[in-house]
Amino acid sequence: MTELSTEYEDLRKTVRDFAEQVVAPVAAEHDRDHTFPYDVVRQMGDMGLFGLPFPEEYGGMGGDYFALALALEELGRIDQSVAITLEAGVSLGAMPIFRFGTEEQKRELLPDLAAGRALAGFGLTEPGCGSDAGGTATTAKQDGDSWVINGAKQFITNSGTDITRFVTVTAVTGTRPNGGKEISTIIVPNGTPGFTVEPAYNKVGWNASDTHPLSLSDVRVPYGDLLGERGRGYSNFLSILDEGRVAIAALATGAAQGCVDECIKYAKDRKSFGRPIAEYQSVSFAIARMEARAFAARTAYYDAAAKMVAGKPFKKEASIAKMVASEAAMDNARMGTQIHGGYGFMNEYPVARHYRDSKILEVGEGTTEVQLMLIARSLGLPA
């Protein structure tokens, strides 16, 4: 997929205009004050961005995941906090309900999520485990027609906003015949007794994104809040992560391109020794390399997204795209800061925000090392 259809291109332009006219003017303020951009999120909901990949019967826009990826790229150019709010709200919050929920769960929960009136979190990571399912310590025991859940979750996006409706958590629900842990996923509504959203983290970046640790102490929810088949929780969430990696790659591509755009403007205006610094080959070549990284990242996520929407295997391509794009974002942020000199160290400049924000792209939804492991395994290599 090298050229966008008219429909995709119109969406991309619409979101770009929104990002530049609505998101950009308030991005620095929300970043500085560590405040959640409720008004921006409301407007994204009104635009239908949270419903892009969902069918109209559940309140969605009837689009696909590639449409979501395009929106994330354009938002990521301007403000990664806003972009990750959308990414997590769709791919981690609503998508598990759409993929694995019962018809009743979908009709009850998806319309508000697709409209941006509600958000949901994805409770996988714990204080003692992330990619290692065997380390899952949260437990859910059946007690009559209820689950009783105990444990803790870490680094959960969109888990503590005023519009957060629930968090889907992985929990050990039994033992498999081979002695391994049976892991299932259960919907836990916010406000359930014993379910505590702990104080927000003081993060390096993504300051306008909502992220909390969660604790669950004898949390009782109906047995019907099981999401998907019992014992399939972790494998189901892994498939959600494959899709999410394409989304993160799109966001990271936007961040990489945003640094290019800022550096072009700055290099044309900033003068050194009587000349715009864009006239110095060292600067123009550095920006050229940044553009090449963004192009490679975009090509990688377009390829992964095209395979995904066509129903073809895309696991390897998703890992490649996520790794290439996240490294492009970090490398471009570092070089963009260098080109800006002392101004690049000032938070009012977008490259400074990208420099702080981009590092987590190499960690979240599977570290670079996890992506290398998955790529190596796809090649038949031990990893």
pLDDT value, residue 348: 87
pLDDT value, residue 2: 62
Model confidence, pTM: 0.95
Query: 207 and 108 share a domain?
Result: no
96 in any annotated domain: yes
Query: 87 and 215 share a domain?
Result: no
pLDDT value, residue 140: 98
Q: Which residue segment(s) compose the domain that 301 sits in?
A: 235-378
| Residues designated as active site | 365
Query: 113 and 127 share a domain?
Result: no
1 in any annotated domain: no
Distance, CA of 270 to chain centre:
34
pLDDT value, residue 76: 98
pLDDT value, residue 133: 65
How many domains in the chain? 3
Which residues of the chain are modeled with pLDDT < 70? 1-2, 131, 133
Query: 221 and 242 share a domain?
Result: no
Query: 103 and 127 share a domain?
Result: no
